[in-house]
Amino acid sequence: TQLLKQSPQFLSIQEGENLTVYCNSSSVFSSLQWYRQEPGEGPVLLVTVVTGGEVKKLKRLTFQFGDARKDSSLHITAAQPGDTGLYLCAGVQGAQKLVFGQGTRLTINP
């Protein structure tokens, strides 16, 4: 059973297009993190959202935490080839452990 479901699992788009990746759960999380991982490297933390309804921006990336703290989204504006990678959401329930979604593999074609 996957606690955090990401969609889509794979996405291939052209440079300059916009996209949204979703991370959904039936459980409430105290915080949600988004990571990007490139081949042969470890995940790199992009952002942490902790408050329901919170929106954070990182250049062309916009992250939102759902009001009920059960879901999150990542929107990329004007995607560039450098955005290519595996995007992972990860949630913390109470003080238990960090649970990863299965990831969204994003390819931006020049």
Give contact residues for another protein (rule: CB under 8 A). Answer: 31, 33, 35, 40-45, 48, 88, 92, 95, 97-98, 100-103, 105
Instruction: Select 88 or 108, whichever has its Cβ closest to another protein.
Output: 88
In angstroms, what is the minimal distance from the CB of 96 to another protein?
9
CA 59 to chain centre: 15
Q: Do the beta carbons of residue 98 and residue 33 sit within 8 Å? A: yes
Q: Do the beta carbons of residue 110 and residue 81 sit within 8 Å? A: yes
Listed in sequence order, the residues at least 6 apart from 97 whose beta carbon sits closer than 8 Å to its beta carbon are none
Instruction: Select 45 or 55, whichever has its Cβ closest to another protein.
Output: 45
In angstroms, what is the minimal distance from the CB of 97 to another protein?
6
